[in-house]
């Protein structure tokens, strides 16, 4: 028996199938999927169909919930408050793959599967979680909140060691070199941003053989999933949902909870900041990078103000996310060079 973990698939059904074929799966093999099967790529339905089919025919597939599944669930589970802007900014491509217009129209089989996804799984020394654990807790495995497991801590996920355990996660896009180096660390991160499709550093769906501690990189072979943005003759990949927008009929549905507003701001900054390493690789210095991203940050702040109640300190919440996500990421890369 072999055991594998696979990172964020994001609607790349062809890429996912190609990776599974390379693994040459046996019926008694075990595969942990780290979440984010939907959005970004063109065929979220196809990805879910592959997972469900493998489970139906008896393969040992153990999928986790990612933050993108959680956002989708929030729009059809009446127990949840809908995540603002999801359908337009993240979920539209997923709904198109199903040929539907709203998450409520998802067939029951998919709804039941998504709602049943766990936040964390364990296998011997390995702990599987989409984003990360709260290392400030006495027992991070049992005391970390679902929000932290899905979204991380808003900054860089801690590599603090849980004695004798190895955390395996996705969520935060890491370049190929970083992923390879993390094999020697107590926290292995295997999201290479498959949908970005910019090899050799980014654009691979990654599997980790948990027994041999070997990585398998499958290049993205699905249709284009990002927009190409060019400013001042510098090109860099930017996901379509980098700057969330909002429909006019949603304006009155403002976020009034500070923690939810903070999470939204972190998502906006994280989506912008995850492309920082690409600009560094092009030899652009830190100051110029922020000049290039300035317009995007301003646009994000305008959309954030539309979505959050003025009763909250919107400027403080947004600037806190800017410092804790984007500027910290810039600082880290500056001192890595």
DSSP 212: T
Domain final position from 177, 200, 219: 219
> Quick one: 92 and 202 in the same domain?
yes
Mean pLDDT (whole number) for 175-198? 90
Answer whether residue 334 shows pLDDT above 60.
Answer: no
Domain final position from 151, 184, 219: 219
Contacts of 112 (CB under 8 A, 6+ apart): none
Supply the range of the domain harboring residue 60: 3-219
Most confident of 91-95, 148-152, 196-200: 91-95
Q: How far apart are CA 94 and CA 233, in angstroms?
A: 32
Bond prior to 310 in cis (omega within 30° of 0): no
Q: How far apart are CA 269 and CA 154, in angstroms?
A: 9
pLDDT (0 to 100) of residue 326: 64
Query: If pLDDT is split at 50, 70 and 90, which confidence band does 10 have?
Result: very high
User: In sequence order, what DSSP letters do the residues of 265-321 get, joined into one string?
Assistant: HHHHHHHHHTTHHHHHHTT--HHHHHHHHHHHHHHHHHHHHHHB-TTS-HHHHHHHH
Mean pLDDT (whole number) for 67-81? 90
Greater model confidence, 262 or 93: 93
Axis crossing angle, helix 13-23 with helix 44-56, rounded to the nearest 10:
40
Tokens of 148: 């932290």
Average pLDDT, the chain: 81
> Quick one: 207 and 231 in the same domain?
no
Q: How far apart are CA 99 and CA 105, in angstroms?
A: 9
Q: How far apart are CA 174 and CA 192, in angstroms?
A: 5
Answer whether residue 2 shows pLDDT above 50.
Answer: yes
pLDDT (0 to 100) of residue 164: 87
pLDDT (0 to 100) of residue 268: 79
Contacts of 162 (CB under 8 A, 6+ apart): 127, 133, 135, 140, 141, 186
> Quick one: 115 and 85 in the same domain?
yes
> Quick one: 175 and 298 in the same domain?
no
Domain count within the chain: 2
Sign of CA dihedral 65, 67, 72, 74: positive
Mean pLDDT (whole number) for 154-179? 77
Contacts of 63 (CB under 8 A, 6+ apart): 32, 33, 35, 37, 51, 117
pLDDT (0 to 100) of residue 157: 45
| Tens-digit pLDDT profile for residues 119-142 | 999 999 999 999 989 888 888 999
- Residue 156's domain is classified under what CATH number? 3.60.21.10
> Quick one: 259 and 287 in the same domain?
yes
Query: If pLDDT is split at 50, 70 and 90, which confidence band does 330 have?
Result: low
Say if CB 273 and CB 329 are below 8 A apart.
yes
Count of CB atoms within 10 A of residue 276's CB? 20
pTM over 0.75: no
Least confident of 157-166, 254-263, 299-308: 157-166
User: In sequence order, what DSSP letters do the residues of 101-130 get, joined into one string?
Assistant: SSGGGS-HHHHHHHHT--SEEEETTEEEES
> Quick one: 134 and 238 in the same domain?
no
Domain final position from 219, 243, 274: 219
Greater model confidence, 185 or 291: 185
Query: If pLDDT is split at 50, 70 and 90, which confidence band does 321 have?
Result: confident
Count of CB atoms within 10 A of residue 112's CB? 10
Mean pLDDT (whole number) for 192-216? 92
> Quick one: 127 and 26 in the same domain?
yes
pLDDT (0 to 100) of residue 305: 85
> Quick one: 148 and 188 in the same domain?
yes
List phi, psi (to 5°) of 306.
-70, -30
Query: If pLDDT is split at 50, 70 and 90, which confidence band does 172 have?
Result: confident
Answer whether residue 17 shows pLDDT above 70.
Answer: yes
> Quick one: 186 and 250 in the same domain?
no
> Quick one: 249 and 161 in the same domain?
no
pLDDT (0 to 100) of residue 137: 85
> Quick one: 160 and 240 in the same domain?
no
| Tens-digit pLDDT profile for residues 209-260 | 999 999 999 999 998 774 333 333 333 333 333 333 333 333 335 788 888 7
Q: How far apart are CA 15 and CA 110, in angstroms?
A: 21
pLDDT (0 to 100) of residue 254: 75
User: In sequence order, what DSSP letters do the residues of 305-336 get, joined into one string?
Assistant: HHHB-TTS-HHHHHHHHIIIIIIHHHHHHHTT
Contacts of 244 (CB under 8 A, 6+ apart): 84, 85, 89, 264, 267, 268, 300, 303, 307
pLDDT (0 to 100) of residue 60: 96
Long-range contacts of 134-142 (CB under 8 A, 24+ apart): 135/160, 135/162
Query: Taking Cα atoms as reference points, which of 322, 326, 327, 290 lies closest to residue 304?
Result: 322
Mean pLDDT (whole number) for 51-70? 96
Query: If pLDDT is split at 50, 70 and 90, which confidence band does 287 have?
Result: low
> Quick one: 206 and 279 in the same domain?
no
Tokens of 66: 């990612």
Cα of first residue to Cα of last residue in the chain, in angstroms, is: 41
């Amino acid at each position: 028996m072999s055991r594998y973990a696979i990172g964020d698939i994001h609607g790349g059904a062809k890429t996912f199938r190609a990776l599974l074929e390379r693994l040459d799966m046996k019926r008694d093999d075990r595969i942990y999927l780290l979440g984010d099967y939907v959005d970004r790529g063109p065929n979220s339905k196809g990805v879910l169909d592959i997972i469900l089919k493998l489970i139906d025919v008896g393969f040992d597939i153990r999928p986790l919930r990612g933050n993108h599944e959680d956002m989708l669930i929030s729009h059809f589970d009446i127990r949840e408050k809908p995540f603002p802007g999801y359908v337009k900014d993240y979920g539209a491509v997923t709904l198109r793959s199903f040929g539907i217009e709203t998450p409520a129209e998802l067939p029951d089989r998919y709804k039941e599967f998504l709602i049943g996804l766990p936040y964390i799984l364990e296998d011997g020394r390995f702990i599987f979680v989409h984003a990360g654990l709260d290392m400030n807790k006495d027992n991070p495995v049992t005391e970390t909140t679902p929000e932290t497991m899905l979204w991380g801590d808003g900054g860089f996920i801690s590599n603090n060691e849980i004695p004798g355990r190895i955390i395996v996660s996705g969520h935060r896009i890491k370049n190929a070199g970083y992923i390879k180096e993390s094999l020697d660390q107590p926290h292995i991160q295997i999201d290479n941003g498959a949908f970005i499709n910019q090899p050799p550093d980014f654009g691979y769906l990654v599997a980790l053989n948990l027994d041999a501690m070997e990585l398998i990189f499958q290049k993205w072979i699905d249709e284009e999933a990002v927009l190409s943005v060019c400013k001042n003759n510098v090109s860099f990949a930017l996901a379509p949902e980098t700057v969330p927008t909002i429909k006019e009929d949603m304006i009155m549905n403002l976020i009034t909870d500070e923690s939810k507003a903070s999470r939204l701001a972190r998502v906006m900054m994280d989506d912008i900041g995850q492309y920082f390493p690409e600009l560094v690789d092009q030899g652009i210095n830190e100051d110029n990078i922020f000049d290039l991203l300035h317009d995007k940050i301003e646009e994000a702040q305008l959309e954030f103000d539309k979505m959050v109640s003025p009763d909250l300190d919107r400027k403080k919440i947004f600037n806190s996310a800017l410092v804790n996500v984007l500027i910290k990421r810039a600082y880290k890369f500056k001192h890595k060079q």
